[in-house]
Structure 1
Amino acid sequence: MKTFKWTSLLAAALMAFNALALSLDEAKAQGIVGETTSGYLELVQGNKDAEALIADINQKRKAKYEALAKKSGITLSQVETLAGAKAIEKTQAGHMIKVDGQWRKK
């Protein structure tokens, strides 16, 4: 019985943690996170959950960009610029984008 209580408590705690975690779509919709011309996400306004989310996604993006650069025989900078342009183009209306150093809604 004791094990069942601890297991239930642990499961409830994990569900609560997951409910608090911020998804990329939520962060973009709330204007917390935005796309940049550099191909990476940036924080528009302070949020601890978003900082961790951005770091994780940008790390994965950079790994993909490096692989694409190597495969295509171009520089990482060129891939980042192309990815940034594509990300801004695909950004939904109302979400934040950073162009020429300024945040604005698309």
Structure 2
Amino acid sequence: MKTQVLVFFTALLLSINAFAISLQDAKNQGMVGEQQNGYLGVVKASPEANKLINRVNAERRSSYQKIAKKNAITLNEVANLAAKKAISATKKGQFVKNKQGKWVRK
């Protein structure tokens, strides 16, 4: 089951292509970062960052719900697995929120 979930996450990351350039730009500029809960967070507040986060997080939540239902697991379990994968995939120099709730550069 975990293999299916991980395969789906890979497909999910590729399916967010519409946001990839904007998301990568925002990450590279230090505006947004990955959080421990599987969702993006604001590092440096701006209207653009907030709009991007709302859009990407809504898409993630929708995808997480589909994965959870398909695999008979909770939304939180899916989000936690996604967080680990997203944080692992975060590039050096981009921000992640650590377990203490502080933004740190990877």
User: TM-score, normalized by length of structure 1?
Assistant: 0.78
State the partner residue of 2:87: 88
SS in 1 for 2:52: helix
Instruction: Name the amino acid aligned to 1:104.
Output: V
CA drift of 1:46 comes to 1.0
SS in 1 for 2:104: strand
Q: State how far apart, in whole Å, the 2-side matches of 1:42 and 1:30 are.
A: 14
Q: State how far apart, in whole Å, the 1-side matches of 2:79 and 2:103 are.
A: 19
Structure 2: gaps (5+ residues): 1-20
Q: State how far apart, in whole Å, the 1-side matches of 2:63 and 2:96 are.
A: 21
State the partner residue of 2:40: 41
State the structure with more CA Rg: 1
State the partner residue of 1:103: 103
Q: Segments of 4+ in structure 1 off by > 3 A? A: none
CA drift of 1:23 comes to 1.0
State the partner residue of 1:11: none
State the partner residue of 1:77: 76
Deviations 1:10-63 (A, max 9, x none): xxxxxxxxxxxx811111001010001110000001111110010000000000
Residue identity (%): 44
SS in 2 for 1:23: helix
Structure 1: gaps (5+ residues): 1-21
User: TM-score, normalized by length of structure 2?
Assistant: 0.78
- Superposition RMSD on alpha carbons, in Å? 1.0
How many residues of Structure 1 are paired with residues of Structure 2 in the alignment?
A: 85
Q: State how far apart, in whole Å, the 2-side matches of 1:93 and 1:45 are.
A: 18
State the partner residue of 2:54: 55
Deviations 1:70-89 (A, max 9, x none): 00010000000000000000
